[in-house]
Structure 1
């Protein structure tokens, strides 16, 4: 895969949620340059061109990061904090896409610099619609910082 043209970095450890999200993005026309990783450690390797991604061009940034909150190895909040505290990567929009609707989680993510916090709908029709709207807003309507 050509990792230098990734537009959406999708970080999700749940196989079921990943399949639903990728299907919704594909049907909406937003998945052609999507790369899915399964935990926060792999996300950081991708962003910082380490490990399996060491040959990726460090000057190519995803246009959007869809980030789950609760993951093994490195949590979504740790990934978010790393990205938003880094002057090079802080302008990449990060959308928390999670099943947690707990106030402290939401507050912490916004305090760390999340651009949006979206609770995954349980119903598959609503889930599809939500993912389509995320793609439309962040990939088409929103203007990038760099």
Structure 2
């Protein structure tokens, strides 16, 4: 395996149906000093098609990190996590659940499905902005992400 050069773009797959949350991620990451590409899909079916490079996503780059909402149209985020972690070619990609749910059952089930972390979204825009900056700082600057 050849080591990835540190200046190569980090590919982030954001699986989110909220236009406002997508826009927030885009705005926060505009100020990033880390080379990155933010790829966005808005439901669970498109997330799996993207990850499996099917259909319109056949040339899509493999993500280094997945940020996933749980409550998605067409295919629930829990189903998406289960499929990712059951697929030997995808299971090493870190998955961050970022959702409005603070339900104990959702948290426990997510960790049972081997998510790498579970974050409850703040409803306060300023706090949400800081949260996205924290994700960027930890997951793009501090952590060494897997690669193919």
- TM-score range relative to shorter protein: 0.7 to 0.9
Q: Which of 21-30 and 128-137 deviates more?
A: 21-30
TM-score, scaled relative to structure 2: 0.87
Q: Distance in 2 between matches of 1:143 and 1:121?
A: 27
The alignment yields a C-alpha RMSD, in angstroms, of 1.7
Q: Aligned equivalents of 2:117 and 2:64: distance in 1?
A: 14
- Count the aligned residue pairs: 139
Preserved contact between residue 68 and residue 97 of structure 1 (Cα < 8 Å): yes
Are the equivalent residues in 1 in contact too, given 2:78–2:110 (CA < 8 A)? yes
Counterpart CA distance in 2 for 1:8 and 1:102 is 26
Equivalent positions of 1:40-79 (< 5 A) are: 40-56=44-60, 60-79=61-80
Q: Which moved more, 1:136-145 or 1:112-121?
A: 136-145
Query: d(CA) in 2 for partners of 1:25 and 1:80?
Result: 24
Distance between the aligned counterparts of 1:102 and 1:30, measured in 2?
33
Distance 1:51 1:126 in 2: 37
Distance 1:21 1:31, change over 3 A: farther
Aligned equivalent of 1:136:
137
Gaps of 5+ in 1: none
Counterparts of 1:20 and 1:139 in 2: how far apart (Å)? 17
Q: Which residue of 1 aligns with 2:123?
A: 122
Cα distance in 2 between the residues matched to 1:27 and 1:121:
21
Query: Which residue number in structure 1 is paired with residue 89 of structure 2?
Result: 88
Which residue is 2:22 aligned to?
Answer: 18
